[in-house]
C-alpha cells in the first residue's frame, strides 16, 4: 500500500511518502512578547506546549526557557523536542482536551506559546480550573498549495492527515478532478476538522504513534 503523510520526513514516516502541506512563519511580535515575559517569570510558572513545532521556533528565535519555569507537554511526541525533561506530560491521546483533563484544579501562572491556529480548548479550560493563562501566538501556520499538489500527484492509496491545518489545506487546495484517497486522521481534533470540511476520515488514530497509524492502515 502506498501511504502518504502530511509531515516532514522522520522516524514516524519511515517507508511512507512524507509531504508537508503547510508552512510556518514566525510571528516576531509574539516571540518578542514571550521573551520578555519569560525573562521575568517567577519560579514555578508553567510553560504549556501543545505542538512539537514550538520548541524549534523558540530555539531559532534565541529564546531559552528559564530553569525555574516548569515545562508541560501535551504528549510524548511533543516532549521529545523539549530542551530538557518536561515536568508534566499529558496522557494519550495527546490532545489539548486530554492534557486539560489531566491537570488538577489549582492556581498559578501558565504561559502558552502556540500557533495562530491553535484552539482555545487548553487556555479556556485552564482558566476555568483557576489558572492564569497568557497565550502568545509565536508562529503562523499557512496552507502550502504546492505541497497539496505534490500530495495529489503522489498516487497515494491512503493519506494520513496529521493536523487540522493540514486538513484545511487539503480541503481548500486539492486539485479539481483529482480523486481523494481514503484519509486517516491523526487524532480526534483533526478528524473533526475533516468532517467539518466535508472530507471525513475513513479511520482515526487515537494515538500519535506508528502503532496507532498502522492499525488504521490494517483496517483500511
For the domain that residue 101 is a member of, what is the CATH number? 3.40.50.10090
Residues 11 and 39 in one domain: no
* Total domains in the fold of the chain: 2
CA distance 179 to 144: 19
DSSP letter at 178 equals P
What average pLDDT does the structure give for the chain? 93
Structural domain that includes position 32 = 25-141
- Convert the pLDDT of each residue in 169-214 to its tens digit: 999 999 998 999 999 999 888 999 999 999 999 999 987 788 999 9
- Predicted TM-score of the model (pTM): 0.81
CA distance 193 to 113: 22
Residues 30 and 125 in one domain: yes
Instruction: From 89, 122, 141, give the residue that closes a domain.
Output: 141
Cβ-based neighbours of 40, under 8 Å, separated by 6 or more: none
Q: 179 — phi, psi (to 5°)? A: -70, 140
- Convert the pLDDT of each residue in 123-132 to its tens digit: 999 999 999 9
Residues 33 and 126 in one domain: yes
- If you compute the radius of gyration of the chain from its CA atoms, what whole number of angstroms results? 18
Residues 7 and 111 in one domain: no
- Full DSSP string of 14-25: TTSEE---EEEE
pLDDT cut 70: percent of the chain above it:
100
Residues 83 and 108 in one domain: yes
Q: 158 — phi, psi (to 5°)? A: -145, 140
Amino acid at each position: 500500500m502506498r501511504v502518504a503523510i502530511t509531515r516532514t520526513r522522520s522516524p514516524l514516516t519511515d517507508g511512507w511518502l512524507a509531504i508537508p502541506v503547510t508552512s510556518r512563519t514566525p510571528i516576531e511580535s509574539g516571540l518578542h512578547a514571550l521573551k520578555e515575559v519569560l525573562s521575568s517569570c517567577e519560579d514555578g510558572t508553567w510553560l504549556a506546549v501543545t505542538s512539537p513545532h514550538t520548541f524549534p521556533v523558540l530555539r531559532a528565535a534565541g529564546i531559552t526557557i528559564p530553569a525555574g519555569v516548569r515545562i508541560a507537554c501535551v504528549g510524548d511526541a511533543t516532549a521529545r523536542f523539549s530542551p530538557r525533561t518536561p515536568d508534566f506530560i499529558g496522557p494519550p491521546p495527546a490532545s489539548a482536551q486530554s492534557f486539560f483533563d489531566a491537570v488538577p484544579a489549582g492556581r498559578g501562572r501558565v504561559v502558552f506559546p502556540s500557533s495562530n491556529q491553535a484552539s482555545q480548548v487548553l487556555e479556556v479550560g485552564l482558566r476555568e480550573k483557576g489558572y492564569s493563562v497568557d497565550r502568545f501566538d509565536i508562529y503562523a501556520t499557512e496552507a502550502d498549495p504546492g505541497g497539496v499538489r505534490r500530495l495529489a500527484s503522489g498516487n497515494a492509496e491512503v493519506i494520513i492527515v496529521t493536523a487540522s491545518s493540514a486538513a484545511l489545506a487539503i480541503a481548500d487546495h486539492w486539485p479539481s478532478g483529482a480523486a481523494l484517497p481514503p484519509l486517516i486522521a491523526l487524532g480526534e481534533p483533526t478528524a473533526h476538522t475533516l468532517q467539518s470540511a466535508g472530507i471525513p476520515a475513513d479511520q482515526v488514530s487515537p494515538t500519535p504513534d506508528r502503532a496507532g497509524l498502522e492499525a488504521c492502515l490494517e483496517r483500511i
